[in-house]
Structure 1
């Protein structure tokens, strides 16, 4: 098989343009998903049975349905009730809502794993439940939550490729556009795999650095 190196050379900057969009979507979705996920995770530890049930129902729905369907719901179904987003923001919202459910489980598990005696000691000195969660338990859970949160970020970056189905011009969509014109699937999909591999390795390296710098409780 002959590899068309000229197409490879021309495709590298074109795919880089798509990579910029992938990074933008992933960064915004990760921040929004983390914020919402922490709120939901703490809600899952709330004393309110209603709040716990609502969080559980949300997490169960998101984890029990394919992300692709969730993307279609945001982009195609919401406009039927008057809520419209362009391709970029529909993708961001779908990825954020999906990531939040998994982050919530990481937070719930991480905080819930802290020794119960610390909660009892904090209550004995008059701290409220919310204060204990935010000031005592959550800071101690940071370090052990980094690896699963990294895995979620990696999944989010990979899942961003699904946004090509709603015409978001991220890196996978850029590759598909090149293939449709030049019909060089081997070269382009290999390049796409390399781009994703380098990106994921960079995230893993950064995560390991952050984890080493966090204090061990």
Structure 2
């Protein structure tokens, strides 16, 4: 294990960098997209709700690999060329956004309806009440679930290995193929994934405890 790490340190760190970059981009983008579709799902307009629910149900029931391969194989043929990293990150973003949408929607609906009614009776518009009153409470409620989604996102970023995204798993595959030391290579790769996910897990636990005390 130590030999694999020392002899391929630069390659592994490069893969770790690509994994972190893809995860950060997908995390931010999926949170924005997921929140938008969560708001669509709870709209008072039936056709708007339909759009939100259709997106969530459609994406959630398609494997991540299929979504990623669609952007890697089909989109370049008919729309625009993109490399494996871009295709993998987009696929990861779209896939994760559907789960975040359901998480955020559940959080918003868990906030007592009196909060919105009270805000509206005090002169706030629906948007103002949602942004300043309801949404902050909803986020506190769904922190554990969002944390799980973010950790799953990092682990799911290994999908980039299937489209030559130069991520940590892809580099691990290359090292394993050249050294014929599969066990030690993937053991090192697993440890490096823990280096990313464990701090995220502890950070989410801290936020959950801090906000529960508040």
User: What residue in structure 1 maps to residue 128 of structure 2?
Assistant: 131
Question: Following superposition of structure 1 onto structure 2, how do residues 50-61 of structure 1 map, counting pairs within 5 Å?
Answer: 50-61=47-58
Partners of 1:93 and 1:34 in 2: CA distance: 13
Cα drift, residue 107 of structure 1: 0.9
Cα drift, residue 216 of structure 1: 5.7
Partners of 2:212 and 2:183 in 1: CA distance: 46
Partners of 1:25 and 1:144 in 2: CA distance: 27
TM-score between both structures, scaled by the size of structure 1: 0.91
Question: Following superposition of structure 1 onto structure 2, how do residues 41-80 of structure 1 map, counting pairs within 5 Å?
Answer: 41-80=38-77
Q: Deviations over 1:11-57 (max 9, x none)?
A: 34421221011001000110111111111111211112111101100
User: What residue in structure 2 maps to residue 154 of structure 1?
Assistant: 151
- Which segment drifts farther, 103-112 or 138-147? 138-147
Gaps of 5+ in 1: none
2:112 to 115, 119, 125: 115
SS in 1 for 2:166: coil
User: What residue in structure 2 maps to residue 87 of structure 1?
Assistant: 84
Partners of 2:211 and 2:71 in 1: CA distance: 37
Partners of 1:47 and 1:132 in 2: CA distance: 15
1:187 to 165, 184, 187: 184
2:14 to 14, 17, 27: 17
Cα drift, residue 162 of structure 1: 1.2
SS in 2 for 1:168: coil
- Which segment drifts farther, 115-124 or 187-196? 115-124
SS in 1 for 2:77: helix
SS in 1 for 2:8: helix
Does residue 99 in structure 1 map to residue 96 in structure 2? yes
TM-score between both structures, scaled by the size of structure 2: 0.93
Off by >4 Å, runs of 4+ in structure 1? none
Cα drift, residue 73 of structure 1: 1.0
Q: Deviations over 1:142-193 (max 9, x none)?
A: 2112111111111110011011111011000001111111110011011111
Does residue 203 in structure 1 map to residue 200 in structure 2? yes
Count of aligned pairs between the two proteins: 214
Cα drift, residue 197 of structure 1: 1.9
